[in-house]
Each structure stands twice: as structure tokens, then as C-alpha cells.
């Protein structure tokens, strides 16, 4: 049984896309469809054709970026995960960011459930993003995160979508602001990366305040 926060998986069937020219069948995400008409990227579910590129991206900080470099992370084989659930589960997920102009995959967005209380209403989504170096600084990152927040609000009952990033990651902080996120504050010493504890800036969009 799905929790209050869980994505309604039917809305993200294999081959469906958010942004650009979305599949007609995902009518439930009409808000995302409308807002995506001027977007240069869209989000789609991973397929087995993405296995090679995902393995490449997730094997090197060259692709994921220094602020996503947590050393060697053990994860199940990508092809197995795609076969199992297309990388979209009840409490987490990953979508491919695709450039609309040439349908080229340029990165991934992901989300996982976080809880601020024991009741189902108190769960939120914490999102992350990684674009390949050549796709950065062209507005794609802010658009992709906006689309992801729209998708999570359209398909779940969560009231909050948040993103945390190193206080030194100015590009991500700016991209989140452009995507409509507000800065909540700084979590001191929250993240261990590259041999030391780091402060992270927390950003969020709140459904009932930011009227999504």
C-alpha cells in the first residue's frame, strides 16, 4: 500500500515524458505539461537503452560533479533496477533529463522520501540533480528541478519538496532559486564529503504556501 507521499506510479509509465511534448496519457500532470511548454528539457523514465550512459555517469565525479562526490557508492546493477521498476519506487526515484532539441540525455534528477513526523502527512520529498558538464549553465538545471517539483506535487500528496546543497555550491543554489525554491536556512555539519563535515543550504517549495 502506498503512503501519502508515494508517487502514483501509473502516471509515469515507461516511455512517458514530462516536459517538451509529454505523452497524452499522463493527463494528471497537466500543470507540469502547461509549465513545460517553454522548457528546453523534459524528464522521462529510464529504459534499458540508458544503462550504458547511466553506468558511465555514476562511475565518475567528472559527470556527477564535486558536490555529488561521496566516494564509491554501492548500488544495485542499473539494468536490474530498470527491469524491476524503471528506477521509480515508492519512496525514491530517478528520471532521465533529456534535452528537447535533440532528445539527448544530459543528466538525471532523483528524489527520496524524508519524514518530519510519524504521520503520513509529515513526509516530504528531498530531490537531487546532476547534469553532464557540457549541459551546465544553460538553464537546464533550474528547469529540470522545477519540472520534478511539479511532477511530485501533481502525483503525490506531499506538501513539501526540498533540496539541500553544499553552501559552496552557488550554481545549484542559484538554479534552485530560479526554479522557485526558497532558502530555509543552513544545516550545520550535516554532510560528510571529501574528508570533512560540510554545512548545507536547505531550499524548499511548499505546496500550500507557494501555490503549486
User: Is residue 139 at the binding interface for ligand COA, with CB under 6 A as the rule?
Assistant: yes
Q: Are 31 and 212 in contact (CB under 8 A)?
A: yes
Options 33, 125, 141, 160; binder of ligand COA; rule CB under 6 A:
141
CB-nearer residue toward ligand COA: 44 or 198: 198
Question: Least CB distance from residue 175 to ligand COA, whole Å?
Answer: 4
Nearer to ligand COA by Cβ, of 49 and 69: the residue is 69
The cell for 35 is: 509549465
Q: Are 29 and 11 in contact (CB under 8 A)?
A: yes
181 contributes a contact to ligand COA by CB under 6 A = no
Which of 4, 110, 122, 138 is close enough to bind ligand COA by CB under 6 A? 138
Residue 23 in the binding site for ligand COA (CB under 6 A) = no
Residue 151 binds to ligand COA (criterion: CB under 6 A): no
Triad 198, 203, 205: Cα angle to 5°: 160
Q: In this chain, which of 87, 131, 149, 158 binds ligand COA, going by CB under 6 A?
A: 131
B/e letters for 87-99, b = 16+ CB within 10 Å, e = fewer, are bbbebebbbbbbb
Q: Give the SS3 label for residue 56.
A: helix
Non-local (6+) Cβ contacts of 46 within 8 A are: 54, 78, 82, 86, 87, 94, 95, 96
Query: How far apart (Å, rounded) are the C-alpha atoms in residues 69 and 163?
Result: 16
183 binds ligand COA (CB under 6 A): no
Selected from 19, 65, 86, 105, the binder of ligand COA by CB under 6 A is: 65
Q: What angle do CA 68, 111, 188 make, to 5 degrees?
A: 55
CB of 58 to ligand COA, least distance (A): 12
**Using CB under 6 A as the criterion, which residues of the chain lie in contact with ligand COA when the complex forms?**
65, 67-68, 107, 128-131, 136-142, 165, 169-172, 174-175, 178
Amino acid at each position: 500500500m502506498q503512503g501519502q507521499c508515494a508517487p502514483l506510479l501509473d502516471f509515469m509509465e515507461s516511455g512517458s515524458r514530462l516536459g517538451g511534448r509529454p505523452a497524452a496519457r499522463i493527463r494528471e500532470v497537466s500543470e507540469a505539461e502547461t509549465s513545460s511548454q517553454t522548457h528546453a528539457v523534459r524528464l522521462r523514465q529510464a529504459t534499458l537503452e540508458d544503462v550504458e550512459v547511466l553506468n558511465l555517469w555514476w562511475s565518475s565525479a567528472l559527470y556527477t560533479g564535486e558536490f555529488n562526490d561521496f566516494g564509491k557508492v554501492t548500488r544495485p546493477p542499473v539494468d536490474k533496477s530498470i527491469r524491476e521498476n524503471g528506477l521509480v519506487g515508492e519512496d525514491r526515484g530517478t528520471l532521465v533529463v533529456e534535452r528537447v532539441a535533440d532528445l539527448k540525455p544530459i543528466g538525471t534528477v532523483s528524489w527520496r522520501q524524508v519524514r518530519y513526523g510519524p504521520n503520513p502527512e509529515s513526509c516530504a520529498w528531498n530531490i537531487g540533480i546532476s547534469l553532464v558538464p557540457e549541459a551546465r549553465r544553460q538553464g537546464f538545471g533550474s528547469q529540470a528541478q522545477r519540472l520534478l517539483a511539479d511532477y511530485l506535487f501533481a502525483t503525490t500528496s506531499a506538501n513539501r519538496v526540498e533540496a539541500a546543497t553544499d553552501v559552496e555550491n552557488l550554481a545549484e543554489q542559484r538554479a534552485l532559486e530560479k526554479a522557485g525554491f526558497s532558502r530555509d536556512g543552513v544545516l550545520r555539519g550535516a554532510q560528510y564529503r571529501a574528508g570533512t563535515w560540510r554545512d548545507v543550504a536547505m531550499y524548499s517549495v511548499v505546496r500550500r504556501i507557494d501555490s503549486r
